[in-house]
Chain A
Amino acid sequence: MYTRLVRWIDDRLMVSPLWRDMADHPVPAHVNPSERVSAFVYCFGGVTFLLIIAQFVTGMFLAMYYVPDIINSYNSTKYLMNHVMFGLQLLSMHNWGSSLIIIMVTLHMLRIYWMGVYKKPRELNWIVGVTLLILILAFGFTGYLLPWDEKAYFATQVGVSFTKYVPFIGPALLKILSGGNKIGAATLTRFFAIHVLFLPALLISFLGLHFLMIRRQGITGPY
């Protein structure tokens, strides 16, 4: 019964070739930490991905309590920290997650650079990877504003002000990014939307490309 149901669905979705391709693809011994302990350097990218998933999950739960406006963002964060069960733990995990992702991404990039992994045919995947790095830094920057305390406000003021030096479009860019002439209510909703909608969509797309290329081009080495 179960087998017939699965087969019925698979006849329509034709998922099993895709699954078999992913499940059966051979993983060489030199990236297997149980074969060789030094292979842990190959794990940094995967750990980053896992931490990104953890950020998605904690972020979704934070969004249940967070209210993105200039009065309630601060108060809802304070409420979450002081009165919601496991609220502080949740916020703390999201906060630590961002730092750990930066560390793991740095280690991952160092491994790629050290081994010259980006050489032909993997140039494009390096380019996608650098884009992912910029997206991750943008996550950090936009997320910093959301609690709307003084640290958030003034750090964002400094950070956003750098855009005005872009030739020709600088002032316009500054105005678009901050939603007006100064950091205020419009900046907060903008950064919230960027942090929880725009960036995740971009991140997922580029991660998809990243993984697709890894499967197409295989794992390098051993060297």
Chain B
Amino acid sequence: MNDHGHEHKAKEYQQKGVVPFWPEHFLKELVVGLMAVTVLFVFSIFVHPVLGHIADPGDWAYVPAPDWYFYWVENFFDVGGYYWSVLGLVQFDWVLMFLFPALGIAALYLVPFIDRYPERRLLKRPLMLGLLMFGALFLGYFTANGVYAHSTLTAQEPYNIFQSGCATCHYIQGLGGDQTGAIQTPTGQWIYPPDLSHIGSILSPAQIQAQLVNPKGGMPQLSLPPAAIKDLVPFLSNLK
């Protein structure tokens, strides 16, 4: 507590080449910490999270995406599930979906007991180096693959919606459409659903959206979910 004891300790620390935690080391930690918080603050000025449409459980058109650090989980189960069904192991799906993740978590917990090398340098611990590289490749591959799969899926989605919905009555570039949507007016004239191949140069995006939300001219009310409208408006606007 007293000044004399403190001075004595300071000299002792100096000889050993160490510093006391307070205040010497704490100040340095504080500088690093302030840098981290500044990074957080600056990032948050320039890039903001986006709030989508309010959750609608009936939205069949929405393609869900996990947070970036969970892509690998979703993609591992996706890819694994595909090969699992190819191999005819569907009845043992708990092996893929529970046992493998459980073993992975157990392995992570047991790292100190797997690593029996007396050495500390990673190059002299080949098994641990191998496990680390396996882990890095595993996470990297499934994350990249997950991001790619998701972007492919979202790019494909408007076309899928068109095929499963709009194409019943309309056609684009000679595909889809038949007489299903034809209606007869009271004067006996037939009105056919228009060809949408060039709809983007006929209607503005706002007009397309209005037509989808509140159809006019013989088109039935489809009660499209928000994600479907969000996908279809740019898709149709680009048909020029």
Contacts and interface: CB of A to CB of B under 8 A. Distances in A.
B82 interface: no
* Dominant secondary structure of chain B at its interface with chain A: helix
Interface in B75-109: 77, 93-94, 96-98, 105, 108-109
Given A25-B21, A27-B19, 17 more contacts: A32-B25, A43-B29, A46-B33, A50-B37, A92-B43, A92-B49, A95-B48, A96-B40, A99-B67, A113-B111, A126-B109, A137-B69, A152-B52, A155-B67, A157-B64, A162-B73, A162-B97
A179 interface: no
Interface stretch (B113-121, B167-175, B191-199): B113-121
Given A24-B9, A141-B70, A96 B51 contact: no
A122 B93 CA distance: 37
B57 interface: yes
A223 B121 contact: yes
30 contacts: A20-B1, A23-B20, A23-B23, A27-B20, A27-B21, A28-B18, A43-B29, A46-B33, A51-B36, A78-B51, A89-B45, A92-B48, A93-B40, A97-B40, A99-B69, A119-B112, A122-B112, A127-B112, A140-B70, A144-B67, A148-B55, A149-B51, A150-B55, A150-B56, A150-B62, A152-B52, A153-B55, A153-B56, A154-B63, A159-B66
**Most A Cβ at <10 Å: residue of B48, B69, B227:** B69
Interface of B: 1, 9, 13, 16-25, 28-29, 32-33, 36-37, 39-41, 43-45, 47-49, 51-57, 59, 62-70, 73-74, 77, 93-94, 96-98, 105, 108-109, 111-113, 115, 117, 119-122, 125, 128, 132, 226-227
Contacts of B128: 113, 116
A123 B112 contact: yes
Interface in A110-166: 113-116, 118-120, 122-123, 126-127, 130, 134, 137, 140-141, 144, 147-155, 157-159, 162, 165-166
B115 A116 contact: yes
A50 B96 CA distance: 37
A26 B16 contact: yes
B119 to A, nearest CB: 8
Contacts of A78: 51
Interface in A2-57: 16, 20, 22-29, 32-34, 40, 43, 46-47, 50-51, 54
Between B23, B67, B97, the greatest number of chain A beta carbons within 10 A of the residue's beta carbon is seen for B67
Interface residues of A, number: 76
Contact of A23 (B22, B96, B227): B22
A167 B94 contact: yes
A126 B112 contact: yes
A32 B24 CA distance: 10
